[in-house]
Amino acid sequence: MSTPAAEGVVISGASRGLGAALARRFAVPGARLLLLARSAAALEEVARDCRARGAQVAVAVLDVTDAPAIAAALAAFEAGGPVGLVIANAGTSAGTAPDGTPEDAVAAARQVQVNLVGAINLVGPLLPGMRARRRGRIGLVASVAGLRGLPDFPAYCASKAGLIAWGEGLRAELGPRGVSVTVVTPGFFDSAMGARFHGRRLFLLDQADVAARVQRAVLQGRPRAAFPWPLAAGLRLLALLPPRLGDWAARRMRFRVSPES
């Protein structure tokens, strides 16, 4: 199932990685895209690629934690037609540094602000229109890390767990109103963010494959998209163990996280 051609597509974190790959997949002739990210140069490069594919592309260089700026960019885009699909993909990560230093409170709060509050800032202004039209698709890119807290990046896990819970609550409310919410929980895939995690990245996925899975799941209106399934299932089972046993097992999953460049 596709989004009506007249309705816009909004993607955050679109300057690189999964967001850029998704932007290029949605860039078909006649499509209207609004791409958001912090890096102007990288974002414009993605926009050029999308325009070459026949899409009409608007860009907004901003931080998803800036709620007024997000709302203004969305309002300007919707002046040209309603948004039929939004993917909240922007994210950041931190954790135990390569030298063993734990993440500090500032880094922890930043992850919650970007990964959870940023998604709310992006999706929130679009909800009244989707409710009124009784139509729309929402994709929330969380992570398998949100399925169980892990010791080396607890704030990242918390931000993604919050996004999962918010998305599932939103889905339960919006489903009868004709609006689908797809909560995506991917594992590790080849990206700049993924490369910053030093440890055993089990079941590493190809970024193009992840983008294809996310696009398909959102367009089909699937409630959840968790992959790779062995990793997602393992973390779900880990969360069901008695706390002491679960903590012992989680400590065997050690990672170090390089600073974001």
Q: Report the catalytic residues.
A: 156
Contact residues for 117 (Cβ-Cβ < 8 A; gap 6+): 65
Whole-angstrom distance, CA of residue 249 vs CA of residue 125: 41
Decide: 206 and 163 in contact? Cβ < 8 Å: no
Radius of gyration of the chain (CA): 18
Tell me the residue type at 228. P
Stretch (H or E) spanning 117 = none
Tell me if the bond preceding 228 is cis, omega within 30° of 0: yes
